[in-house]
Structure 1
Amino acid sequence: MQITRSDLGLAARVAGLTKTYGTGSSAVTALDDVSVGIRRGEFIAVIGASGSGKSTLMHIMAGLDVPTSGRAWLGDRELTALGDRELTRVRRRSAGFVFQSFNLVPVLDVRSNILLPFELDGRQPTAEELGWIDHLIGTLGLSARTAHRPYELSGGQQQRVAIARALATRPEVIFADEPTGNLDSRTGREVLALLAEASTAYGQSVAMVSHDPLASSHADRIIMLADGRIVHDGPRMAAADVAELMLSAEAVR
């Protein structure tokens, strides 16, 4: 599939993407001629076994890594055509991140952690943006915790703060890398429901990397990688079907 700037409704996309680590006989191909796009307001799960290339794909789509060859866009900006300074600026303004390890700043309280993307971008949020942040804080059940620091919060509350921070600037895409990996099952389900709500209620694009069939079943669309190539791209599936799909890919390796 050839994806170009002219494609409408895509929040992020890559075309002919290849990523190789090392050289010569020790070279390892993490991605092999991958082309895929994420629609606006879509919640996708990128699944696959360890080493399949799923995290590498997400990192390149988010501007955290660069491909060996191929092109990547975030919104209408071609990441692969930007220098380091401009790439950092686009990433700050167009991508939100939710990681397994939360990545909150321990010396900042909840509200300051949520406002951190604005500080890093060197600007103050507008009145409209402050209203949006207050809405997020209330919706995510953090109103009574805004003056607390991360160590005073449960794991689920910390992940809610990370989600609020990711949504605060209304980026093109939220990239979530195993966002429930450090959470108990109940809290994990709550976090997945919040990511799904970000897509359905706020029109937010969400790209989640996961190896968990249950987590992946919350997504609108499931993309599976094996050996650096896309081997499945289809609509929402039940957790049992996702597990069967992953097992079938393992069986043919």
Structure 2
Amino acid sequence: MDNTTSGSGLAARVTHLTKTYGSGDGSVRALDDVTVGIRRGEFTAIMGPSGSGKSTLMHIMAGLDEPTSGRAWIGDTEITGLDDQALTLLRRRRVGFVFQAFNLVPTLDVRANILLPFDLDGRRPTVAESERIRNLVATLGLEERLTHRPHELSGGQQQRVAIVRALATGPDLVFADEPTGNLDSRTGREVLELLSRASGERGQSIAMVTHDPIAASHADRVLFLGDGRVVADKSRQTPDEISAHMLRTEQEQARSAA
């Protein structure tokens, strides 16, 4: 699949990853010996039925959760066993996040939320970063909202702010969890085109968890998970091809649970 042993050309990778919740008879294995990598400069969609382990995989790859066993790297840095301070610094400087729940700071206006990664890092945006932020704000139609607080925005507007914040520092790697889940189709398409450009034109690596075959069709590569394992690794797919594969994966997962 990927050269996951050396990490060559990979923005993130995991080897022999297992994640178990609970213990004894009540334990649930969310990931089962997964070895996979996210290639540099590529837009990867991670799909699978509910309970397939896709969000758990993303959270461990991003250093937001720890595996039960196995190893994880961001670039050439192994993050399994890294202390909290070093992990926080690594994420802040090299990784962007877009969550379905937005995770905006309610007391800050839009401008301050977008600039939060810089404030946390104790610096101001460079000229190039400021220009990138202006372009992102304009593309996502947020110019008139910069002084508003999150509660004054629609869900779609909040998600757009979260996406600008994630891309503002130009991170090597962006993790997106259902980034279009709360957006109308037009805004969702704009967001997906932004993510595509971030990988295609700026060489950023995008890993997106999604249920939506149309969203996944914008990706260069689609990973399908089922029962905590990678069951398929496909290059760019049409929405119909993705839907058909998702249906097969769901049927197989239902059969194995029966």
TM over 0.5: yes
Q: For residue 7 of structure 2, give the secondary structure of its aligned residue in structure 1.
A: coil
Structure 2 equivalent of residue 33 of structure 1? 33
Deviation at 1:130, TM superposition (A): 2.9
**Matched residues in 1 for 2:206 and 2:139: separation?**
18
**Matched residues in 2 for 1:245 and 1:102: separation?**
29
Look up the equivalent residue of 1:30 and give its one-letter code.
A
1:193-245 deviation line (CA, Å, top 9, x unaligned)? 22222222222111110111121111110000000000000111111111110
Q: For residue 25 of structure 2, give the secondary structure of its aligned residue in structure 1.
A: helix
Look up the equivalent residue of 2:95 and give its one-letter code.
A
Identity of aligned residues (%): 67
Structure 2 equivalent of residue 184 of structure 1? 184
**Matched residues in 2 for 1:190 and 1:153: separation?**
18
Deviation at 1:139, TM superposition (A): 3.7
Q: For residue 55 of structure 1, give the secondary structure of its aligned residue in structure 2.
A: helix
Deviation at 1:7, TM superposition (A): 2.8
Q: For residue 165 of structure 1, give the secondary structure of its aligned residue in structure 2.
A: helix
**Matched residues in 2 for 1:55 and 1:81: separation?**
20
Deviation at 1:80, TM superposition (A): 0.5
- Is 1:126 paired with 2:126? yes
Deviation at 1:190, TM superposition (A): 2.2
* Mapping for residues 63-82 of structure 1, pairs under 5 Å: 63-82=63-82
TM-score by length of 2: 0.91
Structure 2 equivalent of residue 239 of structure 1? 239
Look up the equivalent residue of 1:14 and give its one-letter code.
V
Structure 1: which 5+ residue stretches go unaligned?
A: none
Structure 1 equivalent of residue 54 of structure 2? 54
* Mapping for residues 1-253 of structure 1, pairs under 5 Å: 3-4=4-5, 6-253=6-253
Deviation at 1:88, TM superposition (A): 1.4
Q: For residue 252 of structure 1, give the secondary structure of its aligned residue in structure 2.
A: helix
1:33-92 deviation line (CA, Å, top 9, x unaligned)? 111111111111100011000000000000000101111111221110311111111111
**Matched residues in 2 for 1:195 and 1:153: separation?**
22
Contact 1:101-1:182 at 8 Å conserved across structures: no
Q: For residue 156 of structure 1, give the secondary structure of its aligned residue in structure 2.
A: helix
Q: Compute the RMSD of aligned alpha carbons.
A: 1.7
Look up the equivalent residue of 1:206 and give its one-letter code.
I
Q: For residue 106 of structure 1, give the secondary structure of its aligned residue in structure 2.
A: coil
Structure 2: which 5+ residue stretches go unaligned?
A: 254-258
Contact 2:7-2:76 at 8 Å conserved across structures: no
Contact 1:75-1:94 at 8 Å conserved across structures: no
How many residue pairs end up in the alignment?
252
Q: For residue 29 of structure 2, give the secondary structure of its aligned residue in structure 1.
A: strand
Look up the equivalent residue of 2:23 and give its one-letter code.
T
Q: For residue 201 of structure 2, give the secondary structure of its aligned residue in structure 1.
A: helix
Deviation at 1:148, TM superposition (A): 2.4
Deviation at 1:246, TM superposition (A): 0.8
**Matched residues in 1 for 2:127 and 2:190: separation?**
29
Look up the equivalent residue of 1:75 and give its one-letter code.
G
Q: Which moved more, 1:144-153 or 1:81-90?
A: 144-153
Contact 1:159-1:191 at 8 Å conserved across structures: no
**Matched residues in 2 for 1:71 and 1:10: separation?**
14
